[in-house]
């Protein structure tokens, strides 16, 4: 059952309309501190009941610029094929197929449909071989080099072999 809730604003408008019927629009506008056009609008809506003065929805009844079913179908098909390359690439491909809307409206439709962009995992081009030790000391590499005496600039006390551990 539709129950009408009477607000203070609706009562104010009804008093305004009643006063305007008795005394005139100009006097009503002065008394209620509004302009004449507001009073005329309320009188045009008023049929003697408070319900007629309630605020009505401003939502449009039709959507002339709504996406068509063909466009939505085209977006979903092309998204499955080219969505992983990004929305910009998808938009270019849609334009080639005859899509004539803006980039923003395409993105809005993708979000509305709940389509998620597939994140590609970047391929690593460096090959890494993991060294696993089978026994103690397996991961240690020892390199022995012979260095001539004239190349050694620090005191080596006759030892020409330098051991490097990596």
| pTM across the whole model | 0.42
Residue 1 predicted with pLDDT over 60: no
Residue 164 predicted with pLDDT over 60: no
Structure confidence at residue 159 (pLDDT): 63
Residue 42 predicted with pLDDT over 80: yes
Q: Which residue has the higher pLDDT, 162 or 144?
A: 144
For residues 44 and 39, give the distance between their C-alpha atoms in angstroms, rounded to a whole number: 9
CA-angle at 111, arms to 107 and 116, nearest 5°: 100
In terms of Cβ atoms closer than 10 Å to its own Cβ (0-12, 13-18, 19+), residue 94 is: buried
Residue 66 predicted with pLDDT over 70: yes
Structure confidence at residue 3 (pLDDT): 74
Tell me the per-residue pLDDT of 5-29, one tens digit each, with 9 for 90 and over.
Answer: 888 999 999 999 999 999 999 999 9
Residue 92 predicted with pLDDT over 90: yes
Tell me the per-residue pLDDT of 134-157, one tens digit each, with 9 for 90 and over.
Answer: 877 777 777 777 777 777 777 766
For residues 56 and 84, give the distance between their C-alpha atoms in angstroms, rounded to a whole number: 45
pLDDT band at 163 (very low <50, low <70, confident <90, very high): low
Tell me the per-residue pLDDT of 115-127, one tens digit each, with 9 for 90 and over.
Answer: 776 566 677 677 7
């Amino acid at each position: 059952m539709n129950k009408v809730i009477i607000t203070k604003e609706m009562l104010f408008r009804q008093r305004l309309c009643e006063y305007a019927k008795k005394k005139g629009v100009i006097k009503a506008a002065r008394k209620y501190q509004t302009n004449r056009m507001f009073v005329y609008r309320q009188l045009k809506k008023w049929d003697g009941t408070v319900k007629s003065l309630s605020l009505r929805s401003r939502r449009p009844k039709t959507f002339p610029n709504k996406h068509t079913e063909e466009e939505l179908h085209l977006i979903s098909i092309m998204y499955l094929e080219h969505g992983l390359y990004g929305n910009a690439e998808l938009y270019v491909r849609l334009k080639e197929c005859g899509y004539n809307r803006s980039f923003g409206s395409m993105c809005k439709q993708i979000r509305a449909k709940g389509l998620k962009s597939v994140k590609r995992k970047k391929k690593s081009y460096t090959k890494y071989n993991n060294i696993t030790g089978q026994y103690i000391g397996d991961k240690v590499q020892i390199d022995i080099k012979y260095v001539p005496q004239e190349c050694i600039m620090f005191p080596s006390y006759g030892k020409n072999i330098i051991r490097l551990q990596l």
